[in-house]
Structure 1
Amino acid sequence: MSELAGLDGPALLAQLRDWAAAAGFSQIGVADVDLGSAEAGLLAWLHNGFHGSMDYMAVHGLKRARPAELVPGTVRVISARMDYLPRATPADWQALEWQRVATPTAATVSLYARGRDYHKVLRTRLQRLADRLAEAVGPFGHRVFTDSAPVLEVELAQRSGVAWRGKHTLALHREAGSMFFLGEIYVDLPLPLTPPIEAHCGSCSACLAVCPTQAIVAPYRLDARRCISYLTIEHDGPIPLELRPALGNRVYGCDDCQLVCPWNKFAQRATLPDFDARAPLDGATLLALWAWSGAEFLQRTEGSAIRRIGWRRWRRNLAVGLGNALRAGEDAAIRCALQGARDAADPLVREHIDWALAAPQRES
């Protein structure tokens, strides 16, 4: 363990906060590494199979709740949050997003994914923060993470005072809602701990009620196998037939539980241009995205988190969205576009195209 001998811990923490703000972070906190009280819930979640096909969750097991096993020598975790609403987001953004979801021919991409891939943005800036700390205290052991390792991000955020866990399982803050990313620096420095914050969801259950697939099976308990974000991003196989209608026009992720959350009236705009919405992903129609070739997909999603799901899943998701648009009574151009792509499609995409084309034809 690195030492803080001769250093003023509170003053160093104040400096860290200043450096974090300069790097674009909204807040940081420091948590201990004893997450033992979270282990039972993690094991129950895995036992119920709520992780779906994310086998790595089970492989890592309790390492997720034991930071010192993931990175030996770790004694503290710096938890950081960064707001991601695009800088030009209007005041009535929630109403506009609901309007988009309700428009069958529109393509809905989760807000966080409309700009640059957050993994790259946060990882670079977390490392910059670690470098500043090393300049102040000398070399120390550390690793930075952004949704890239078995880390109980929300648990650490809660224990460090950066957020609390909402009933939808996402991190929440009274002054920022849930529209922010989390990142961590595991350190072997005995930094001063910051106090946790209490949850403020109260009796509200709006997120449970609004979920299109009822994936939030109980407060603070998510069955990923039913979650649209999981189905459109993590899941590699066919989307279950019974859940396809509920996807609507959501082709990458789902924000419904966040859009309905009262705390998101306090959501903050990003300070970085990285999260500004890119034109192809903001306001696009399903047909416009369906018209992309594989090469165009790679070109237009360069630097985006969307590229991670690949062309195959992207087309699968779009086929479901187009099928739902047909079921909503939309025009024949969609049917023609699906039929024109069917024969060249791979088996997974073709099966979803066939499902889409099975929608009853509208009488002329």
Structure 2
Amino acid sequence: MSQSWWQAPCQVADEAVRERALARQQQLTKPTGALGQLEALAVQLAALQGRERPSIEQVHISIFAGDHGVVAEGVSAYPQAVTVQMLSNFVGGGAAISVLAKQLGASLEVLDLGTVEQGQSLPGVQRLQLGPGTANFSQGPAMGAAQLAAALAAGRDSVLGAKAQGCQLFIGGEMGIGNTTAAAALACWLLKCPALDLAGPGTGLGRAGVQHKAQVVEAALALHHGQIQTPIQALQYFGGFEIAALTGAYLACAQQGVVALVDGFICSVAALFAVQLNPACHAWLLFAHSGAEPGHQRVLQALKAQPLLDLGLRLGEGSGAALAVPLLRLACSLHNDMATFAEAAVADRPA
């Protein structure tokens, strides 16, 4: 398969089903538009799934993990050892996303794309090992072209596996100490924003730490300015293995006709790059929440996204997306199971 597989056409929504779903909404026992965004969600899901009565029962969550060489610049409040330690927590059931996946009845997959502590083999964790984390992008490209292609393909393959198991909704999550710095650099390059506008506390940096992170990002942007002309090059120079995998996953979702629910800042940056690489994939992306990381707002604006929740979240792991799943399920239930005016023998509004 060509390395430019992501340019292949995306699936398209079924407009005839959209019209029938809209017509059903008009007949349900409520004032028109009374359920607000929930009505639009149900109709959108119906069109994307090609069925007048959509369903979000089969949920798959893939957590992509990778370490970041830029941590050497002192941009994180936590050591890199935490990345692998959290992988153990994910498969052991103790992480937030593990608890949420269990409550949702969702399948949970954990992929180690490349961590510094390579010697540890964890039951339940798929080890791809594209390298001992990325290189320090303050000194050179974060990854080679072959590593980038492999990371993108890892995201695609995760979606293909999920679809084969009947997945109706795909959630991508991430784990990687330093990945808010990588995401900020990527967003700054694409949106032409100063780093201070997009750099945030990540895992808990104070004001001085955030300012230092912004300085590191600005210096790296200046260093690589002449070498980067395209989004795919920016991913290679600034991205993380997990960010590239998320980008590949969102592209594959659109190509395979699987709805994707996008989590927080890092996932939204990956989604922004996916849309840059193949604009048609945007139709398959739903946005779970408006997070507390400062750069998230700018990225959501660039995506013209309407996030479902606003809870001040900044955990990552796909946790915000998982929290939004019950809302999607309820939107489907209301659309599918409410009675029409005729069925309930309730007088409709005059024509």
Q: Same fold (TM over 0.5)?
A: no
* TM-score (norm. length: structure 1): 0.24
* TM-score (norm. length: structure 2): 0.25
- Greater share of residues in helix: 2
